[in-house]
Structure 1
Amino acid sequence: MGTSLISYFTMVAMLGVPSYGIRACAQVRDNKEKLSKTVQELLIINLIMALISYTAFFLLLWFVPTFREESTLYTICSAAILLNVIGVNWVYQALEEYSYITFVSVLFKALGLALMFLLVRNSGDVLWYGLVTVISSFGSAVFNFIRLRKLVNLHPCRPWNFRRHLYPIFTFFFMSVATTVYTNLDTVMLGVIKDNEVVGYYNAAIKIKTILVTLVTSLGTVLLPRLSYYYEQGKEKEFLSLVSKAFSFVLLFSIPCCIYFSVYARPVVEFLSGPGYLPAVAPMIILMPTIVFIGLSNITGIQVLVPTGKEILVLRSVIFGAVVDFLLNLLLIPSLGASGAAIGTLCAEFAVTLLQFWYLRKLLTSIIQTIEFKELILMIFAGSLVLWGLRGLQLSSLFWQLAVSALLFFGTCVLTLLICRESIVMSVVNKLLKTCEKPR
């Protein structure tokens, strides 16, 4: 409860800087003076917003009895607000310091796990639990801030120009708010219109979808700084090439996942949630195509519209999707329950993707021509044949049934791409071979 409450104050303190900061810093990464000035301006804006957030937070603790009773726990958790601000993770992402980010993240996750075993012994150790959670999730911020002086100049680079950042920052902020409302809308409406049992089925259906979407969309954060840099430098060829590779990656990853988890929805739900959650199978099958739509809209939105300064179009598309989701939920949930919410989500994600494709129709015409659709179709055909051949397979347990079928299906997909010498797969293979080569 404490971390959930603090997350809203953190969102206000950060505004849209985590997303905008990556683009803004990536565009001036080659000029240390401009980079230092940009970092200082954004950090000052964050510190001012953090002060406002803390003021509102402590007023809430003071005036609301429910929160005042747990004021110590909430105060400990509120350290996340300041740590998020001084952590300036967006600077490290903009400069593509991914090795450092991964190292400190793993270090503090391991530290948090060790402290959890040492300090949290029973339900009465809730304060220790809150402290360990903050250290594990945000402790690296201290290291980030100390190390920041190696990347930028920390002495004041006046005159500061805060106004130039305000419009994009607030656009990203409202985009974050709209996305938060939009992604939670189906669950909230299910709870209001139906009951907690139906919400439980729906949550079981979206469990695997959420994991797969996270894997697909993680590519966006990695590519954003490089794409922003290419766009700022006018390197159109490199920009289009990287976007094309991103499209190919999403299609090659998301479509097989969509097919496999649709065909094996029943055993997956039964394995992850138990036989009592079989009503979640239908919603899960309906939701699976959203993996493809979200993957594609993540490219058009985060990897194309954002680096080119058109984030307002992303905001419009998300609002449009939220409206579609709300109207369809209102219409379908009373009669179809969790399946109705799934249909609403599917149509909403399709609407967002379609609208962003319309915004980028001229650009996408040239990109689509570079995608290797023949290899993609052959992969889908070969994988589907394997699933058809496995349709009567019954093993001793659900685990082995899923493990064997997944190994054969995804193995066939990869093998087909290797035989066809698909460019992305071959580039990965070549890099692995170079890594394994012994120096002469």
Structure 2
Amino acid sequence: MEQVKQANTASIKKNYIYSALAKIFALLIPILITPYLARVLEPDGNGVISFVASIVSYFVIASNIGIETYGQKIISKNRDNKAYLKQFLIEITVLRAILTGICLVIYYVTFVLVLKANTMLYAIYGLTLMAVAIDFTWFFQGVEDFKKIAFANILSKVLYVVLVFVLVKEKKDLNLSAFILVVTNALPYFFLIPFIFKYTRRIKLENRINPFCHFKECMVYFVPTIAIQIYTILDKTMIGLITNSDFENGYYEKAEQLAKLPITIITMMNIIMRSRISYYYANQEFEKIKHLTKKSASFSLLLAIPIMFGLIVTAKRFVPIYLGEGYEECIPLVYIFSPLILIIGVSNLLGTHYYTPFDKQRISNRFLIIGAIINVLLNAILIYYFKARGAAISSIVAELVITLLYLWFAKDFFTFKDFIKVGYKYLISGSIMFVTLLVLNYYLPMGIWFLILEIGIGMGEYFILLFILRDKFVLETIRLFWNKFKKLHRRS
């Protein structure tokens, strides 16, 4: 039993490392590319891309109909049944191909043949739809094979950076920039296709193929996907339609990107844990689920709280240095967006650790629909008066309502008090760090070196305070790395 536990722990650690590498690259690439493209394409150029990307996203959602979340969950629960894996994989692939074909026809007829504005850009982004049909990432997540996903994503991101810096030189290269992004995003899907046969070869099917038997269940996961997109992507569509300004969309896009970049790192543990928790739930191992949830909560709050405070304090100094001239309007937007780091960190944890693996998706759907309705109604009012700032406020309110509903209805699993117990030391340390950085902001002049100094002091103070407060998660992490270091030292 102990060996199995150690094997499971080792597996989670390996998956975390692979996923972390991929997520770090996913985080680093925008960090490297954003300042460059912000200056080359300017706010209005970035705004055009943001608007078109929001349009194609609706068709991507329609062709997915919740397949990714549903597929990962089913695969993780049945990964020991090879015959069923093959059956399920073929059925989902056929279903997705049919839906993608229908969406492709509607998209190209509507936005390429009928509407004539930005025809080339719409045509390029339509390739994103084609790639959906060959996306098997959900399958590899379900069988907890994160190594291949990480490797494929890292290669594609590196290629993206190289091509952008070499080929995109001025504003007229906007379409080329979009093409490079779309193609490199699709490359990991092609890379993973050959490995699918490892799980399906030499296995005979026991039943007749029926792709539409999964349609109804997929729709359960389709509803939250629609709701989530309404208060993430519809914002950009509504900004474009109501303000008729590419600049406002450009400001919104970059400010949101700055706030949401850290969320990819904060939530990566949750994505890894989702498959493992679904497996534990299928085997009724609830104590293990509770233990993993506490670990994930510690990790999420450890990062979310200081990053949220740090972004608020440094935005005035950071935005002009990072994005360049012409993006001053992004500063107040970053102030508004910053709490999303903590809010989404909590809701994402509850969604991946409780609502999805515990078959509570229908309840989750109701909350997401409520949030989506609130977001749309507030957008219609606030964007008209406050433009991009109004959309940012709407997003915050919608996400906060969803998180509060998640917390209330998950109180039998993981309560608000549980989050306080796990995170109060992070809140204390983060608040002290926040005050210190406010004082530094008052006395330090503008400049990149003073920004680096400010970030360094903030990080150092935060972790020193956690060490003084004897935070269990931090101490365990330090002990783990120290033991690894001693082992390496002995070997050398």
Alignment of 1:331-350 (within 5 A): 331-350=381-400
1:88 equivalent among 136, 145, 150 = 136
The aligned counterpart of 1:248 is 298
Q: CA deviation at 1:259?
A: 1.5
1:363 aligns to what SS in structure 2? coil
2:473 equivalent among 424, 431, 434 = 424
Amino acid at match of 1:401: F
Higher RCO (CA < 8 A, seq sep 6+): 2
| 8 A contact 1:50–1:85 mirrored in 2 | yes
Amino acid at match of 1:402: L
The aligned counterpart of 2:318 is 268
The total of aligned residue pairs comes to 437
Write the distance in 1 (CA, Å) between the matches of 2:386 and 2:110. 39
Write the distance in 2 (CA, Å) between the matches of 1:423 and 1:160. 51
| 8 A contact 1:228–1:308 mirrored in 2 | yes
Do the aligned partners of residues 188 and 83 (structure 1) sit closer, same or farther apart at CA in structure 2, a change above 3 Å counting? closer
| 8 A contact 2:259–2:337 mirrored in 1 | yes
Listed as ranges, the gaps of 5+ residues in structure 2 are 1-48
Q: CA deviation at 1:18?
A: 1.4
Q: CA deviation at 1:23?
A: 0.9
Write the distance in 2 (CA, Å) between the matches of 1:322 and 1:144. 34
Q: Does 1:415 align with 2:464?
A: yes
Q: CA deviation at 1:261?
A: 1.7
The aligned counterpart of 1:139 is 187
| 8 A contact 1:15–1:169 mirrored in 2 | yes
The aligned counterpart of 2:155 is 107
Alignment of 1:169-318 (within 5 A): 169-194=218-243, 196=245, 198-274=248-324, 276-318=326-368
The aligned counterpart of 1:399 is 448
| 8 A contact 1:15–1:172 mirrored in 2 | yes
Write the distance in 1 (CA, Å) between the matches of 2:310 and 2:112. 52
Do the aligned partners of residues 346 and 137 (structure 1) sit closer, same or farther apart at CA in structure 2, a change above 3 Å counting? closer
1:309 aligns to what SS in structure 2? coil
| 8 A contact 1:271–1:399 mirrored in 2 | yes
Alignment of 1:58-97 (within 5 A): 59-60=109-110, 63-64=113-114, 66=116, 70=120, 74=123, 80-97=128-145
Q: CA deviation at 1:346?
A: 1.9
Q: Does 1:328 align with 2:378?
A: yes
Q: TM-score, normalised by structure 1?
A: 0.85
Amino acid at match of 2:467: L
Do the aligned partners of residues 18 and 147 (structure 1) sit closer, same or farther apart at CA in structure 2, a change above 3 Å counting? same
The aligned counterpart of 1:167 is 216
Farther-moved stretch of structure 1 (105-114 vs 92-101)? 105-114
Q: CA deviation at 1:408?
A: 0.8
1:308 aligns to what SS in structure 2? coil
Do the aligned partners of residues 66 and 194 (structure 1) sit closer, same or farther apart at CA in structure 2, a change above 3 Å counting? closer
Q: Percent identity?
A: 25
Amino acid at match of 1:141: Y
Q: CA deviation at 1:254?
A: 1.3
The aligned counterpart of 2:27 is none
Alignment of 1:353-364 (within 5 A): 353-364=403-414
Do the aligned partners of residues 193 and 39 (structure 1) sit closer, same or farther apart at CA in structure 2, a change above 3 Å counting? closer
Write the distance in 2 (CA, Å) between the matches of 1:130 and 1:340. 27
Farther-moved stretch of structure 1 (103-112 vs 61-70)? 61-70
1:11 aligns to what SS in structure 2? helix
Alignment of 1:32-43 (within 5 A): 32-43=82-93
- In angstroms, what is the RMSD of aligned CA positions? 3.5
Write the distance in 1 (CA, Å) between the matches of 2:185 and 2:262. 22
Write the distance in 1 (CA, Å) between the matches of 2:60 and 2:352. 22
Amino acid at match of 1:413: Y
Write the distance in 1 (CA, Å) between the matches of 2:438 and 2:70. 46
| 8 A contact 1:251–1:292 mirrored in 2 | yes
1:364 aligns to what SS in structure 2? coil
Farther-moved stretch of structure 1 (152-161 vs 423-432)? 152-161
| 8 A contact 2:297–2:419 mirrored in 1 | no
Listed as ranges, the gaps of 5+ residues in structure 1 are none
Farther-moved stretch of structure 1 (158-167 vs 14-23)? 158-167
Q: CA deviation at 1:4?
A: 6.5
| 8 A contact 1:92–1:101 mirrored in 2 | yes
| 8 A contact 1:244–1:370 mirrored in 2 | no
Q: CA deviation at 1:15?
A: 2.3
Farther-moved stretch of structure 1 (398-407 vs 44-53)? 44-53
| 8 A contact 1:372–1:422 mirrored in 2 | no
Do the aligned partners of residues 55 and 241 (structure 1) sit closer, same or farther apart at CA in structure 2, a change above 3 Å counting? same
Could you report, residue by residue, the CA deviation over 1:259-297 in whole angstroms, capped at 9, with x for unpaired residues? 122223322233334465444433432322222111111
Amino acid at match of 2:231: Y
| 8 A contact 1:240–1:367 mirrored in 2 | no
Q: CA deviation at 1:132?
A: 5.0
Do the aligned partners of residues 426 and 164 (structure 1) sit closer, same or farther apart at CA in structure 2, a change above 3 Å counting? farther
Farther-moved stretch of structure 1 (8-17 vs 343-352)? 8-17
1:307 aligns to what SS in structure 2? coil
Write the distance in 2 (CA, Å) between the matches of 1:330 and 1:78. 28
1:148 aligns to what SS in structure 2? helix
1:183 aligns to what SS in structure 2? coil
